Amino acid sequence: MKSGNKSVYRGMQVKTSRSAKIIIALLIIIVITLAALLFKDRIAKLLEPDVTYPDTSSLPADTNNAAPAKTAEDTADRSKPKLTRISASNYASDRGPLIVVNASTPYVFKDEDAELLTNLYTADHPGFSLATISESLLPEAYAALYKMTGKYVDMYGFCPIMVTASYRDFQSQDEYYKKNATSDQNKKYYEQPGYSDHHTGYSFDVKIYDEKGDSYSYVRYGMIKAEWITEHYTDYGFIIRYPANKASVTGIDGEGNHFRYVGIPHSAYITENMLCLEEYVKLIKRYGKDDPLEYEYNGVEYLIWYCDGSDGFIDVPAENEYTVSGDNGGGFIVTTAKPQ
């Protein structure tokens, strides 16, 4: 063999010898590692306590410590009242503090209207004065007015609120309209007979009448001479029926001295959200018994929902107190406090 070939052969032998040594070293490391792991596992088993655990698959359940099975009542939403269905004939859809009466929704007169009214002149009224002896309201509205003005007297000794217009029947509204709606310009301030909010028995106009006998516009001087009333009438269930910025909805230009009783919490929600009564009733129609409007007022959480009454029934709480008002459109609005 030539010397050049011998040198190449010797180089290959050297490289092969080094690779073999590396492979052998890796195999030795692997063997030692596996042996160490097996030895450790064996030692651990030898050190375990000689304890035999019983088979629990056939043992009875521990009824003392086990969590009780949930019932349908447990999983029910306790924030909503249990409901029951009552006949819609129990209530009139054209009666109640939330009925809407306007140019497109007339008031339905009934023979018993006059019998239900409270004459404010013959009734006790130490907290407010009257423009005429014929002023009348439904009992709910009268009670709220009495309470509100009575509170004012307790705090200040005298309440300057005078009721200038309350309930009107068709004839009296007809006379009032003909006397005042004498031009196209001022017709926007008056309601035609049969379409007046005053027919409801929940409405009245006011002005300021002080101890000296001087009278003032409530709209202009309410915040000066009867500030507490202006800031708290919603607490007694009242709203301003015709806000100045809602003429396009109500059909009546701003009439800031026209109070309307709608009840709590509706008065607070309407005022807080700057709505008029038409807008509020339209809003409530979006909320049914399964997804009522939730509203908190003075620490009480209220649920409010709408029933269209088309099937002849109204869904109401089975155990909680509630109120039902018609909307004057065939439907009903249910109000209740959320169960605690």
- Among 265, 339, 263, residue whose Cα is nearest residue 295: 265
| Cα 80 from chain centre | 13
Calpha distance 330→88 (Å, rounded) = 10
| Residue 170, both tokens | 């068709």
Token couple for 92: 């009139």
139 token code pair: 């009992």
Please, what's the b/e burial string for 166-185 (b: 16 or more CB within 10 A of its CB; e: otherwise)?
A: bbbbeebbeebbeeebeeee
Q: How far apart are CA 315 and CA 304, in angstroms?
A: 11
Rounded Cα distance, 258 and 205, in Å? 4
Alpha-carbon Rg for the chain in angstroms: 41
Q: Which amino acid is at 207?
A: K
Q: Is 255 a catalytic residue?
A: yes
Catalytic annotation, pick one of 255, 272, 278, 321 = 255
Q: Which residues are catalytic?
A: 255
